[in-house]
Amino acid sequence: MPCSPYREAVSARLDGEPLGMPARALEDHLGVCSACAAWADRAALVTRRARLAAAPPVPDLTADVLAALPRELPGAAPAARARLVGTALRFALLVVGVAQAGIAWPVLVTGVGAMSAPAHMAHETGAWNLAVAAALLAVAARPGLAAGALTALGSLAVLLVPVTLADLGAGHVHLDRAVAHLLLVAGALLVAVVAWRGSRRRLSPAVPGRRLAA
Ligand SMILES: [Zn+2]
């Protein structure tokens, strides 16, 4: 029998695979064939060296990788900022709405308006002003209502400002009464900003974190 099957068996034994022959037959051949015995020794040596050789050094990139990571997920900071601005706007609307209601409610209940207005005129302006307060508070509670509320609030503010300025110039209105209208103007501006932010969010493509900001 030629030597090659025995050398294949030696190689298989080193690799932990089936020898393809009885182990006793291999041992017997290695005992009588010095060439194969020497070949088996060399093969065992090469195999051992290959297994014991140190792994090639790999640079430790942990610090570099950690340093390269973004501090926050993309979009997280803008989303958090947008939430904060939205909350501040709603709180401001709440304050303006409560103040507006505080002015309107007594006039509506008592029928005694400023500047000695007839009772029904006082009731009517009281109802108007309370409706404005209700609209502001509704937008504070549900910012999605801003665009709808803006139609009435915006046009009321746009109409009221020039006529109030004209009345002030002509002495038809006291300054404190005119200043009270600033609440309406501030509320209308806040509602306009909320409506603008809502429309911008609907138009912009989805970005990471956008869902959180909604
Ligand atoms: Zn041999």
- Encoded tokens for 181: 């209208």
Look over the chain and give the mean of its residue pLDDT values, rounded to a whole number.
85
Domain boundaries, the chain: 4-52, 76-213
- Encoded tokens for 27: 């041992």
Confidence of residue 214 (pLDDT cuts 50, 70, 90): very low
Q: At what angle do helices 175-203 and 146-170 cross, to 10 degrees?
A: 150
pLDDT in tens, 163-188: 988 988 888 877 777 777 888 999 99
**Interatomic CA distance for residues 89 and 143, integer angstroms:** 9
pLDDT in tens, 36-60: 999 999 999 988 888 887 767 777 8
6 Cα: distance to centroid of ligand 1 (angstroms): 7
15 Cα: distance to centroid of ligand 1 (angstroms): 19
DSSP 16: T
Residue-wise over 103-117: b if at least 16 C-beta within 10 A, else e?
Answer: bbeebbeebebeeeb
Mean pLDDT of 146-163: 91
43 Cα: distance to centroid of ligand 1 (angstroms): 14
